[in-house]
């Protein structure tokens, strides 16, 4: 079971996160069919904003305003490992 945490409580810096992003507050206007709906995307917290790792910028825009987050790695099935991303290294400023 995922432990979803309110986005007002900031996550650790440069850890992969699952983010719940409201379609209506993510940089675009939602059509009537999407009001009240959300999307889950993968991203990370830089220390001052959330940054998407994979996102369709036509749907959500590039600046995320998540409502909730959860650390990604504890939620992965056994045997699944995430590949190394240099942008998440401690020595890379984000």
pLDDT at 11: 92
Give the CA distances from residue 20 to residues 78, 83, 87, in Å, rounded to whole numbers and listed in that order. 23, 22, 21
pLDDT in tens, 32-88: 666 667 778 888 898 888 888 875 555 555 566 788 888 888 777 788 878 788 888
pTM: 0.66
What the block records as the tokens of 92 is: 């890379």
Give the mean pLDDT of the chain.
Answer: 76
What the block records as the tokens of 67 is: 């409502």
C-alpha–C-alpha distance, residues 78 and 29, integer Å? 38
C-alpha–C-alpha distance, residues 63 and 42, integer Å? 13
């Amino acid at each position: 079971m995922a432990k979803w945490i309110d986005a007002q409580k900031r996550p650790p810096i440069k850890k992969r996160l699952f983010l719940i992003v409201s379609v209506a507050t993510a940089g675009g206007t939602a059509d009537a069919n999407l009001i009240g709906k959300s999307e889950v995307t993968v991203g990370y917290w830089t220390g001052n904003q959330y940054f998407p790792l994979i996102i369709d910028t036509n749907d959500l825009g590039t600046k995320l305003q998540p409502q909730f987050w959860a650390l990604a790695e504890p939620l992965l099935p056994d045997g699944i490992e995430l590949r190394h991303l240099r942008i998440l290294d401690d020595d890379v400023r984000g």
